[in-house]
Structure 1
Amino acid sequence: MNGLLIAVLVIVVIVVVFVLWGIGVYNGLIALRNRVANGWAQIDVQLKQRADLVPNLVETVKGYATHESQVFQKVTEARAGAVEAAQHGDPEQRAQAENQLSNALVNLRATAEAYPQLQANQNFMDLQNQLSQLEQKIAYARQFYNDVVQKFNVKIQSVPSNIIAGMFHFEEAQFFAAREQDRVVPQVKF
């Protein structure tokens, strides 16, 4: 009788330890999934601010460089693409659209450099400074997001937490990454 009681007690302890372990792993996955969502929201905030700043920057440059309409059109189209991608929420499409906007902004900045009186304009300088600060914040937000995605994906793929992840249908998150063609430095010609 004593042996049976000890065996039952050992089995109960093992089951309790396993259940507590499963709860801990599940809660860890939930915490990481929420950090991924938070990271994405931080990127979204910064990209929205940049998209809101772009029309002001374009209008300021337009006043000085009226014959550079192709550059303005590309920036406007890239911004529209970024805003459209923001509504879908897919990180790959969003990264693609945002990289196109970044390239268009490089062309816009290069165009502005050809106009010394624009470079001296306080409004333009303020907008440039704001845009530069936003670009740094975006880079940090992307890095934070990708770091959290990496931790989340490793947790989902690793044994034994992959068992709990599979049971509760956790799916890997997508990285916010540039495609190879988006990494090409744009050519600026006057």
Structure 2
Amino acid sequence: MAGGILVGVLVLFLVWAVLSYNGLVRLKHELARAWSNIDVLLKQRHDELPKLVEVCRQYQQFEVATLTRIVEARGRIAQAREALDVDALGQAETSLRADLGRLFAVAEQYPELKADARYAELQQRIVALENAIADRRETYNDAVTANNVRVEQFPDTVIARLFRFDTRSPLRFTSAETRDVDLGKLFR
């Protein structure tokens, strides 16, 4: 009788361990998929930005410093993407978004540029990509939260430590990203 109870407890433990492990594996893959979705959009935007910069450059008096900052931020984003450095990506994204806001605000002063069909199309495409990135960032951060809770929650933490499932950092942008833009300052 005692042997049957011991076997039953071992079977229950084994079932729990397998279910816990499989749940952690599922979360790991959901996290990878969420990151991949962000990565695809970042690559698309990465490909569109040089086109936008080139259209703006054709208007010779256009603000060169803003265009330079956009190109530099684009490079930092590419490096962070390749290194899978979420913190560096967040910082570079914040910088790029601020400079894109500045670029679009400064472009208002150039009626010929605003009327340029290529500029309008690229601006709409980049704004749509920005919105999609924000949506995917939310999905990624939800996956990070689900992963981190499971990895840190007892008794799953036992399996997580045993098989080296780690917590992840959410994709965050700095406070500069979330505060209101002073459009008046951008036009000065």
Q: Report the TM-score, using the length of structure 1 for normalisation.
A: 0.91
Which residue is 2:186 aligned to? Answer: 188
Residue matched to 2:57: 62
Q: Which residue of 2 aligns with 1:102?
A: 97
Deviation at 1:95?
A: 1.3
Tell me how far apart the structure 2 counterparts of residues 82 and 163 of structure 1 sit (CA, whole Å).
Answer: 36
Amino acid at match of 2:84: G
Instruction: State yes or no: 1:74 paired with 2:69.
Output: yes
Equivalent-residue separation in structure 1 for 2:90 and 2:175 (angstroms): 12
Q: Measure the CA separation in 2 of the matches of 1:96 and 1:116.
A: 32
Match for 1:173 among 147, 150, 168? Answer: 168
How far, CA to CA, are the matches of 2:178 and 2:142 in structure 1? 20
Aligned letter for 2:151? Answer: I
4+ residue runs over 6 A deviation: none
**What does 1:22-171 align with in structure 2 at a 5 Å threshold?**
22-171=17-166
- Checking the alignment, whether the CA contact within 8 Å between 1:145 and 1:176 is kept in structure 2 is yes
Give the conservation status (yes or no) of the 8 Å contact 1:96–1:182. Answer: no
**Residue 65 of structure 1 contacts residue 115 of structure 1 at CA under 8 Å; is this kept in 2?**
no
Q: Which runs of 5+ in 1 are unaligned?
A: 1-5
Matches of 2:146 and 2:85, distance apart in 1: 19
Between the aligned partners of 1:121 and 1:180, the Cα distance in structure 2 is 33
Q: Which runs of 5+ in 2 are unaligned?
A: none
Which amino acid counterpart does residue 15 of structure 1 have in structure 2?
L
Note the alpha carbon deviations across 1:64-116, whole angstroms, 9 max, x for none.
25241111111111112212222211111111112211111111111111111
Q: How many residues align?
A: 185
Q: What does the per-residue CA deviation read over 1:102-161, in whole Å, with 9 as the maximum and x for residues that have no partner?
A: 111111111111111211111111111111111111011101100011001011111111
SS in structure 2 of the partner of residue 178 of structure 1: coil
CA RMSD of aligned residues (A): 1.5
* Identity percentage of aligned residues: 34
CA contact (8 A) 2:97 2:177 kept: no
Q: Which amino acid aligns with 1:115?
A: Y
Name the aligned partner's letter for residue 150 of structure 1.
T
Q: Which moved more, 1:175-184 or 1:136-145?
A: 175-184
